[in-house]
Structure 1
Amino acid sequence: MLPTILDLSSLRAAYAAGMTPIDIIEAVIARRAASKDPAIFITPTPDDDLRAAARALMANAPEPNSLPLWGIPFAVKDNIDAAGLPTTAGCPAYAYSPQRDATVVARLKAAGAIVIGKTNLDQFATGLNGTRSPHGAPRSVFDADYISGGSSSGSAVTVAAGLATFALGTDTAGSGRVPAAFNNLVGIKPTPGLLPNTGVVPACRSVDCVTIFAATVGDGIAIRHVAEGFDAADAFSREAKPVSLPVSGLRIGVLDGAEREFFGDASVERLYDQAIERAKALGATIVPFDYAPFREAAALLYDGPWVAERLAAVEGFLATNAHDFDPTVRAIIEGAKGKTAVDAFNGRYRLEELRRKTELEWKKADILLLPTTPTTYKVADMLANPIVLNGRLGRYTNFANLLDCAAIAVPAGFSDNGLPGGVMLVSHAFTDDALAPFADALHRAAASGMGIDRNAVLPETSRVVVPDGGLIEIAVVGAHLSGMPLNHELTGPGGRLVKACRTAGDYRLYVLPNTTPPKPGLVREPGYKAQGLEVEVWALPADAFGRFVQKIPSPLGIGKVVLDDGSSVSGFLCEAHAISEAREITDLGGWRAYLGSGR
């Protein structure tokens, strides 16, 4: 039986177990027909065409999982061309029939993925809320009274509702991140130019990005790797020049008090604070920074001359079909008519001035941790006040493309009203891969599930690890646990919390006498059966791991510890002779429980 969320790991496992792309496509067809949100798709791929695509894949590549995305269903925002389906950009009068796929769609299909349809959007990708479409407003998968976020509204909902494994969106001001936050998803916003825009209807051509909605960071990065790459047909396409981030001593910039703005939504602010604490627990150094220059740069996207780029994209069509535009979209685009070349140059000068100011802030931090959005709204409220409320949604997203940043949006938990919130990790251009391990760890630490399935466990096979074995994992059982006296020996050199779990059932735990601070001794006894003992798995930079191990006092040492899932990891073990006079506490299940027991 398929899980609610069709993540890559689940589908690949299903194929390995004997399911076929036809089976998956039939499930997608059934789920699509049963969907209670009629506004998700503008043009669904016809059922028989989906079946034909699955059969063709099996004929051309019969071996399961023989292609990177073999039999993986995905959806495409309807401002991105997919041959055989019309492109409308959310405006029926604008519709045309592309003769070829957009470059990114062609690459994904060549890797075995199957397009299940073209999804709804804020018309001409102008908006962050998802209500500016003649086809209706897709809704939050958690509460139909609330917006799904835009402009990539339908794309996010397809993944969150379990209709597709991933979906393509676009992001100019935050459209690949805001819907991710509102639907408990990951939003991958690449460095501008990393994914080509050939075959994409432009919004602001100089800063547009194709984006990916996925269930996990690992899925999103794997899909991005398939879709990315230089394309000479796109004047803004760029060769990737990967930039690394520190493995140890990672500095995370967070909002200070003066720049915090949640528009009265204390619940979302609390989620942001919890994300900061998780980042700290993962070993990051938290540093406040001044968001003001970033905020001022963000304002240029709609309040400055960049709105003229939106007019440039549709100027001819607007001249003949103004009445076919959504009224709010038309008002925004027509607002560019008074802009001059002088305004454009002055705007560019102002952006560069602000860039210089942001460079001072970047000296403080390697990554910025920001709320994806400060709040959310009901559909009715958004329709009643479309400009002001939409503008609030982009407070923390609008600067990223203007300032040439990479970003990954991840879930951060659920607010008091049962709606999800999200946070973003943002850094310099081409840090796309470098951001991924920490983003993945932050998502896993939030334990918020995937999409509509709040209880889903993120699969281990999608975990993102630091490339080239840059970190070494170690299991700790006592004084090095989070919040314990020696935890600083892990966080200080850049260690990151990977997970909390248990050992296999054949371990026993003892209180070692005459140790300061108090320490336990973990001993394996084959044949002994218990529930397993609570441990934490941390990851240390290789050089720090070596220094750490050298300082371990006798009778403790490092050996292989078997975990309850059958995997093994380096961890603290105690020499057997040292427990002869030690008190056993195995029955308590772990060191924390012992400290709280009063024994």
Structure 2
Amino acid sequence: MTDLPTMLDFAALRALYAAGASPRDVIDAVAARMDAGDPAAFINKASKAAMLADVEALLARAPNPNTLPLWGLPFAVKDNIDVAGLPTTAGCPAFAYTPTADAEVVKRLKAAGAIVIGKTNLDQFATGLNGTRSPYGAPRSVFDAAYVSGGSSSGSAVAVASGIAAFALGTDTAGSGRVPAAFNNIVGVKPSPGRVPATGLVPACRSIDVITVFGASVADAVAVRAVMEGYDAADAYSRHAAHIALPAKLRLGVPAASEREFFGNAAYETLYDAAIVRAAELGAEIVEFDYVPFRKAAELLYLGPWVAERLAAVETFHAANADAMDPTVRKIVEGAIGMTAVDAFRGQYALEAYRQAAAAEWAKVDALLLPTSPDIQTIDAMLADPIALNARFGRYTNFANFFGCAAIAVPAGFTPAGLPFGVTLVGPRDTDAALAPFAAALHAAAGCGMGIATEATPPVVPATPEDRIPIVVVGAHLTGMPLNHELTNLDARLVRTAKTAPDYRLFALAGTVPPKPGLVREPGFDGPGLAVEVWSLDPAGFGRFINGIPQPLGIGKLKLDDGSLVSGFVCEPAALEGAIEVTSFGGWRAYVASKAKAAAAS
């Protein structure tokens, strides 16, 4: 069995693969770690046979190590996100169903080479920030089993922090993708709402739910986010998102002294003060701001009519199975009974007023630096006072999705008792990529490692990680095809697989070496949509690549089936003389495979 590194960070795993290790061996070792780990972390583990079948499928389409963005990386999925063939319970056995299709984000991650290892525990119906509200047990902080793991994405955080998964998916409505990161010394990336599709997610508050990523480092987690993001027409809240830049020298907002509440946790208060000092040493200008409108907005999530959205998510189930629900979750959800449309509008009016007041504070700063949680509690204390103590954890997180923010939670040290603490960078909508370099630097400066590997050094993130240009490739430049090296030699990165809109036709051009297709758009044509890949290059590499494209091929704007327009290969219609139409194959790879099969048969 392969010896795994303590943490399955991407650099360590890729080095292992580059040295000759097989994903088969890695999965064997991961399965052993799952069996030996926190028994409450997973609700359903993928069978070893299923994981190895996924490995074989990966090796069949991408045999060379590290040739896909997430090649061979094992990941866990919070059990309110669908994985085909594995039950989705949302932390409630009576609710369970077995989906036949993957959630859209899971589909994209698998296409990028990642391997699902199982479904993780959570606060039931993603209602809670502590991790104890589950009939499947309470996952524990990897640093002290007496303390909560944080929730609701409890098992996902523990899986990453304990070295079982390279990354894991969580969700975040009130802070569930950030608080567990803080309590386990890992990174939690919460995308801006609408940036990552939620198709296949059991909703908590559908209008503000976000699927999130836990990783050992900022670099790892944002790489996963980049694979997941992109418009999905099946998600009513999905949108075409831009990348918003931030200044090189950040003005970081910290709450005024009167708004810094740590509920008597002096060790956390000291660690927050130290994080502010480190941020200043890294070049940020520290600016105090009025946190009151943010806090007031945060309170609406559980004290206002948005509780009714939680009831809407489970209304049919609750009507027939209320007794099957966790008592605390049921109490919270039933708090919505009797709320009216009038209450909903009053809540909207209050939220808009707080947004207006917060806008004046945003004008003073570029981003916020907040404690991820002002406190941590033992499991026993949380069970004794489940609502009041849980509410503390959301003091600095609950507002973020209401305000459309991006957020990255990073480790920020340990208390004298050995308990982890974290801080979160919060930025305006779509500053997701722009936050990453400073978040990574802040993590590294804390010197607290990654998960249980407390001496490890997290990688940096380049200052402009998203300063890259996407390009759609159709034929000989696809992964594993003869000209793919022209991309990889320019440090191109595979972003995702995709399909064109249905009004494109594909032809095998005559006399090309190696064989190449020509893609032509024909408005009104109703085809199958053609399998393509979206790669990205830095501006210099993009320029060199397109300068080498021979006629009759060129670069134009292609429409993909998600409605997005991306630069990609097109063909001059005059070049179709003598060409063979291959549209019916659904893509160049399938056509080439059919030719190879016919040749072998003859």
TM norm. shorter chain > 0.5: yes
Residues 416-467 of structure 1: CA distance to partner in whole angstroms, max 9, x if unpaired?
21010000000110000010011011001001100011111224xx533334
Does 2:336 correspond to 1:341?
A: no
List aligned pairs for 1:194-205, cutoff 5 A: 194-205=195-206
Aligned to 1:416: 416
Aligned to 2:294: 294
Code of the residue aligned with 2:464 in structure 1: it is: V
Does 2:139 correspond to 1:174?
A: no
List aligned pairs for 1:306-455, cutoff 5 A: 306-455=306-455
List aligned pairs for 1:529-548, cutoff 5 A: none
Aligned to 1:278: 278
Residues 516-557 of structure 1: CA distance to partner in whole angstroms, max 9, x if unpaired?
xxxxxxxxxxxxxxxxxxxxxxxxxxxxxxxxxxxxxxxxxx
SS of the equivalent of 1:403 reads: coil
State the Cα distance separating 1:298 from its structure 2 match. Answer: 0.2
Instruction: Tell me, yes or no, if the aligned pair for 2:80 and 2:90 is still in contact at 8 Å.
Output: yes
Instruction: Tell me, yes or no, if the aligned pair for 2:436 and 2:461 is still in contact at 8 Å.
Output: no
Does 2:305 correspond to 1:305?
A: yes
State the Cα distance separating 1:178 from its structure 2 match. Answer: 0.2
| In 1: Cα distance, 2:203 partner to 2:285 partner | 39
SS of the equivalent of 2:401 reads: helix
Code of the residue aligned with 1:33 in structure 2: it is: D
Aligned to 2:142: 141
Aligned to 1:184: 185
Does 2:97 correspond to 1:96?
A: yes
Code of the residue aligned with 2:238 in structure 1: it is: S
Does 2:258 correspond to 1:261?
A: no
Aligned to 1:234: 235
SS of the equivalent of 1:342 reads: helix
List aligned pairs for 1:236-255, cutoff 5 A: 236-248=237-249, 250-255=250-255
Instruction: Tell me, yes or no, if the aligned pair for 1:440 and 1:464 is still in contact at 8 Å.
Output: no
| In 2: Cα distance, 1:47 partner to 1:66 partner | 24
Q: Cα distance 1:72–1:252, how it changes in 2: closer, same or farther (>3 A)?
A: same
Instruction: Tell me, yes or no, if the aligned pair for 1:120 and 1:155 is still in contact at 8 Å.
Output: yes
Q: Choose the corresponding residue for 1:16, options 15, 18, 30.
A: 18
Instruction: Tell me, yes or no, if the aligned pair for 2:125 and 2:204 is still in contact at 8 Å.
Output: yes
State the Cα distance separating 1:109 from its structure 2 match. Answer: 0.3
| In 2: Cα distance, 1:313 partner to 1:32 partner | 31
| In 2: Cα distance, 1:277 partner to 1:23 partner | 44
Aligned to 1:163: 164
| In 2: Cα distance, 1:339 partner to 1:128 partner | 24
Does 2:110 correspond to 1:112?
A: no
| In 2: Cα distance, 1:101 partner to 1:46 partner | 17
| In 2: Cα distance, 1:296 partner to 1:27 partner | 47
Code of the residue aligned with 2:211 in structure 1: it is: V
Residues 7-46 of structure 1: CA distance to partner in whole angstroms, max 9, x if unpaired?
01111111111111111101101111221x2100000001
Q: Choose the corresponding residue for 2:462, options 446, 461, 464.
A: 464
The alignment covers a number of residue pairs equal to: 466
Aligned to 1:153: 154
Aligned to 1:480: none
SS of the equivalent of 1:392 reads: helix
State the Cα distance separating 1:468 from its structure 2 match. Answer: 8.1
Q: Cα distance 1:468–1:108, how it changes in 2: closer, same or farther (>3 A)?
A: closer
Q: Cα distance 1:213–1:467, how it changes in 2: closer, same or farther (>3 A)?
A: closer
| In 1: Cα distance, 2:462 partner to 2:192 partner | 19
Instruction: Tell me, yes or no, if the aligned pair for 2:440 and 2:458 is still in contact at 8 Å.
Output: no
Does 2:27 correspond to 1:29?
A: no
| In 1: Cα distance, 2:462 partner to 2:74 partner | 22
| In 1: Cα distance, 2:149 partner to 2:462 partner | 27
Aligned to 1:533: none
Instruction: Tell me, yes or no, if the aligned pair for 1:83 and 1:100 is still in contact at 8 Å.
Output: yes
| In 1: Cα distance, 2:462 partner to 2:161 partner | 21
Aligned to 1:40: 41
| In 1: Cα distance, 2:317 partner to 2:34 partner | 33
Instruction: Tell me, yes or no, if the aligned pair for 2:69 and 2:112 is still in contact at 8 Å.
Output: yes
Aligned to 1:74: 75
| In 2: Cα distance, 1:228 partner to 1:403 partner | 19
Which structure 1 segments of 5+ residues have no match?
471-599
Code of the residue aligned with 1:306 in structure 2: it is: W
Which structure 2 segments of 5+ residues have no match?
469-602
| In 2: Cα distance, 1:455 partner to 1:3 partner | 13
Aligned to 1:510: none
Does 2:225 correspond to 1:224?
A: yes
Code of the residue aligned with 1:463 in structure 2: it is: V
Residues 147-183 of structure 1: CA distance to partner in whole angstroms, max 9, x if unpaired?
0000000000000000000000000000000000000
- Give me the TM-score of the superposition, normalised by structure 2: 0.76
Instruction: Tell me, yes or no, if the aligned pair for 1:217 and 1:464 is still in contact at 8 Å.
Output: no
Identity %: 66
| In 1: Cα distance, 2:352 partner to 2:257 partner | 26
Instruction: Tell me, yes or no, if the aligned pair for 1:7 and 1:215 is still in contact at 8 Å.
Output: yes
SS of the equivalent of 2:145 reads: coil
SS of the equivalent of 2:44 reads: strand
Instruction: Tell me, yes or no, if the aligned pair for 1:372 and 1:424 is still in contact at 8 Å.
Output: yes
Q: Which runs of 4+ in 1 moved over 6 A?
A: none
Code of the residue aligned with 2:101 in structure 1: it is: R
Instruction: Tell me, yes or no, if the aligned pair for 1:253 and 1:287 is still in contact at 8 Å.
Output: yes
Instruction: Tell me, yes or no, if the aligned pair for 2:192 and 2:407 is still in contact at 8 Å.
Output: yes
| In 1: Cα distance, 2:284 partner to 2:396 partner | 21
Instruction: Tell me, yes or no, if the aligned pair for 2:177 and 2:214 is still in contact at 8 Å.
Output: yes
Instruction: Tell me, yes or no, if the aligned pair for 2:122 and 2:131 is still in contact at 8 Å.
Output: yes
SS of the equivalent of 1:454 reads: coil
| In 2: Cα distance, 1:389 partner to 1:225 partner | 34
SS of the equivalent of 1:338 reads: coil
| In 2: Cα distance, 1:77 partner to 1:358 partner | 32
State the Cα distance separating 1:469 from its structure 2 match. Answer: 8.6
State the Cα distance separating 1:4 from its structure 2 match. Answer: 0.5
Code of the residue aligned with 1:86 in structure 2: it is: P
| In 2: Cα distance, 1:246 partner to 1:346 partner | 37
Code of the residue aligned with 2:31 in structure 1: it is: I
Instruction: Tell me, yes or no, if the aligned pair for 1:5 and 1:450 is still in contact at 8 Å.
Output: yes
Does 2:191 correspond to 1:193?
A: no
| In 1: Cα distance, 2:216 partner to 2:15 partner | 16
State the Cα distance separating 1:255 from its structure 2 match. Answer: 1.5
Instruction: Tell me, yes or no, if the aligned pair for 1:373 and 1:396 is still in contact at 8 Å.
Output: yes
SS of the equivalent of 2:141 reads: coil
State the Cα distance separating 1:241 from its structure 2 match. Answer: 1.5
Instruction: Tell me, yes or no, if the aligned pair for 1:370 and 1:424 is still in contact at 8 Å.
Output: yes
Instruction: Tell me, yes or no, if the aligned pair for 1:122 and 1:153 is still in contact at 8 Å.
Output: yes
